[in-house]
Homo-oligomer: A and B are copies of this chain.
Amino acid sequence: MTRPRQRLLTLRDVSEASGVSEMTVSRVLRGKGDVSEATRLKVQEAARSLGYVPNKIAGSLASQRVNLVAVVIPSLGNMVFPEVLSGISATLDGTGLQPVVGVTDYSPEKEEKVLFEMLSWRPSGVIIAGLEHTEASVAMMKRAGIPVVEVLDVDGEPVDAMVGISQRRAGQQMGEAIAAAGYRRIGFVGTGMEHDLRARKRLEGFESALAAHGIEIAVRVRYEGSSALQKGREETANLLDQVPGLDFIYYANDMVGAGGLLELLARGRNIPADIGLAGFNNIELLDGLPLRLATMDACRREAGQKAAEIIAARHNDPKMEGGQRITLTPILQKGQTLRSAP
C-alpha cells in the first residue's frame, strides 16, 4: 500500500536543539511537572522555531490515554445530527477531549464497522445515536471499558448511559393534540428510512394516541431520497388526490412538513381551520415560513450537551458510576398549522 513517509521531527530533535533532555522537553510541551522558567522558554523557542508537531500516536500509546470521544450518528445530511454534534463540541471544548465523528447511513452493519474502527483508536468515550444496535456492537461497547452514552431516545435499555426524549411519547403527544383539536381524517408522510427506528417509534406512539380516540391513519405514503422540501410538496399533492377529505397531515420531519405547507398554501387551502399539519424536530427553517408549522423539539443540542457532560465527568473521575438515564422533555409547538381544541 504505502511506504512510510519521510522522517518528521521528534522530541529528540527539540531536545538536541535546546540542549534539554527529552523528558524535560516532554514536560514543557505538555505543561506538566515543575520546569524552571528558563528551560521552559528555551524549549518552547526551540519547538516553535523547528515547527515541531508532537506525535500523539506515540504519546497515546505511552500514556494509555486518548483524548478522543467517538460520536456515531446516522447522517450528516439533515441538520439534526449536526446539531447534536454542535452540543457535544461546545461542551467538550475546554475539557481536552475531542469528538471524532463516524457516520452509519442508518445501517446497523455499517454502524458495527464504524464502531469497530473507532474503538480501535481507544477513545475515552462513545456517544451513539439510538438504543438499537447489533449484538456485536453492543458487545464491543460493553467490553470497551469506557463510558458509552446513547442519545436521542430513551425507549429501551441502554448499554450504559442514555440521554434523550421518549420518541414514542413524542408521537403520542402530537397524536393527542391532533385528536383533541378535532381533526379526524389523518394522513402521514414518512421517510423511506427503514432503519430510522426513532421515526418508527414516533409513528407507533402517534398511532396509539389516535387509536385511543378511535381514529386510524387514513392514508400513508413514504418518500425515498432526499430533497425533502420538494418531496413534501409532491407527497402532499399525492395524498390530497388520494383522499380528498383529509383534514390533517403528519410529517415525519419538518423539512417535508415545510414542503407540505408550501403545497397547501399554493392550493389556497385554509390552514389550520380546514386542514392542519405538523412536522417534527423544530428546525430553524420554520422561522422563515409563511406560517409557523406545528412541531416538536427533539432536544438534539441539549442531548449532545448532556451526553458530553457525562463523558467528560466520567473521564475526569473514572470511579464515577455509569448508567445515567436522562429524559428530556420536548415541548409541542402548535405554531399556526394546528388549531386549538374546540
Contacts and interface: CB of A to CB of B under 8 A. Distances in A.
Given A77-B86, A120-B56, A2 B316 contact: yes
A36 interface: no
A51 B226 contact: no
A96 interface: yes
A85 B105 CA distance: 14
Nearest to A287: B230
A28 to B, nearest CB: 16
A55 B62 CA distance: 13
Contacts of A103: 89
A341 interface: no
Nearest to A124: B2
Q: Bin the interface of chain A by size.
A: 35 or more
Nearest to A260: B288
B230 A122 contact: no
A199 to B, nearest CB: 20
A289 B318 contact: no
Interface stretch (A38-46, A138-146, A187-195, A273-281): A138-146
Interface string A75-97: 01101001001100100000010
Contacts of A232: 288
Given A5-B318, A55-B120, A76-B85, 8 more contacts: A8-B144, A8-B145, A9-B143, A53-B140, A55-B122, A58-B61, A76-B86, A77-B86
9 contacts: A8-B122, A53-B120, A53-B140, A53-B143, A57-B66, A77-B82, A100-B100, A226-B284, A230-B287
